[in-house]
Amino acid sequence: MSIAYLDGSYMPIEQAKISPMDRGFLFGDGIYEVVPSYAGKMVGFGPHIARMQNGLAAVGIKLDWSEDNWAELCNRLINENGAGNLGIYLHVSRGADSKRFHAFPDNIAPTVFAYAFEIAPPPVADKALAKAYKVSTTRDLRWERCHIKSTALLGNVLHFQHGYERGHDETLLFNANNELTEASACNAFIVKDGKVITPPLDNQLLPGITRHILLDVLRRDGSIAVEERSVSMDEVLNADEVWITSSSKEVAPVTQIDGKAVGNGEVGEVWLAAQTLYSAGKFDY
Ligand code: PDD
């Protein structure tokens, strides 16, 4: 049983109920985060909360919570839910209105919901133990505000389903110019001739916290070259290695794209170096 938080109270998740007039339910009008926590230690708590505050400001949801308020909530959920390997889900919707009307209502309080769910143990930097991901590709048909971590995820859900129905773990997305944006729930990287390359931050992709930590640990280490620039679909298909990153997957090696091997079809050496640095540095963020 999971203990959840809803609008000021902690309760078993089964008892958490929201109004069907909540704009999160009616319009997907909300912002969310997923923060990983291992044995009571969160990864990237500060950056996750900063991204949520940016998202709330970007969509005009006014919630007067400091980083300390969020820390108290997260730590309580960790304590209540056993402090194992947890994903902490944080969700703020614009709140429940008395009518369904598109414009932002005045004087409604945002709905704040949070719960903790079990996630896999942290990935280890070991080629023999690494899960090798198989992915699909498709044209990115989401909206032009993908930098906002909105709860309106139908576009992402449909893209994820595209890969899932083909027996794949994820779907890589390409824009109208045949450039890589990200995956349905991950950021994406390629490795070519020893260099790590990922699309630059803009409105076409989420500013992933794992992406941020990974780029930072690689740059601090300095032994692997890193570049943020547009990546064509052709470059992805001819890369030596491809990775997808997210809070629970960390740096995940992709060995097949649409049924074709990436590079030599094995988990790569540069992945091993990158996940090693990530594992060593992640709790510093
Ligand atoms: N997904 N891009 C998209 C579209 C995402 O949904 C996510 C995360 C990422 C990676 O972001 P981060 O490194 O901050 O986890 C990139 C979360 C985990 C989810 O929706 O469950």
Predicted confidence (pLDDT) per residue in 241-283, tens digit:
999 999 999 999 999 999 999 999 999 999 999 999 999 999 9
197-206 pLDDT per residue, tens: 999 999 999 9
Q: Is the residue at 125 inside a domain?
A: no
Question: Average of pLDDT values for 118-147?
Answer: 97
Range of the domain at 59: 3-118
Q: Is the residue at 124 inside a domain?
A: no
- C-alpha 209 to ligand 1 mean position (Å): 8
Q: What whole-number percentage of the chain has pLDDT above 70?
A: 100
- At residue 1, the pLDDT reads 63
Instruction: Based on the fold, state whether residues 114 and 40 are members of the same structural domain.
Output: yes
Q: Is the pLDDT of residue 97 over 80?
A: yes
Question: Average of pLDDT values for 209-232?
Answer: 98
Instruction: Based on the fold, state whether residues 110 and 138 are members of the same structural domain.
Output: no
Instruction: Based on the fold, state whether residues 174 and 273 are members of the same structural domain.
Output: yes
Q: Is the residue at 128 inside a domain?
A: no
Instruction: Name the residue with the closest Cα to ligand 1, atom 2.
Output: 186
Question: Average of pLDDT values for 79-107?
Answer: 96
Q: Is the residue at 27 inside a domain?
A: yes
Record the pTM: 0.97
250 lines ligand 1 (CB under 6 A): no
Candidate from 90, 186, 198 with most ligand 1 atoms within 8 A of CB, to mutate: 186
CATH number of the domain within which 57 lies: 3.30.470.10
Question: Average of pLDDT values for 166-194?
Answer: 98
Instruction: Based on the fold, state whether residues 77 and 140 are members of the same structural domain.
Output: no
Q: What is the tally of structural domains in the chain?
A: 2
Residue after which a domain boundary falls, among 61, 87, 118: 118
Q: Is the pLDDT of residue 161 over 90?
A: yes
Q: Is the residue at 232 inside a domain?
A: yes
Instruction: Based on the fold, state whether residues 220 and 280 are members of the same structural domain.
Output: yes
Say whether 41 is catalytic.
no
Question: Average of pLDDT values for 5-33?
Answer: 98
- At residue 83, the pLDDT reads 86
- C-alpha 149 to ligand 1 mean position (Å): 8
185 lines ligand 1 (CB under 6 A): yes
Q: Are the CB atoms for 115 and 2 separated by under 8 Å?
A: yes
CATH number of the domain within which 188 lies: 3.20.10.10
Which one is catalytic: 127, 131, 149, 192? 149
Q: What whole-number percentage of the chain has pLDDT above 90?
A: 99
208 lines ligand 1 (CB under 6 A): yes
Question: Average of pLDDT values for 60-82?
Answer: 97
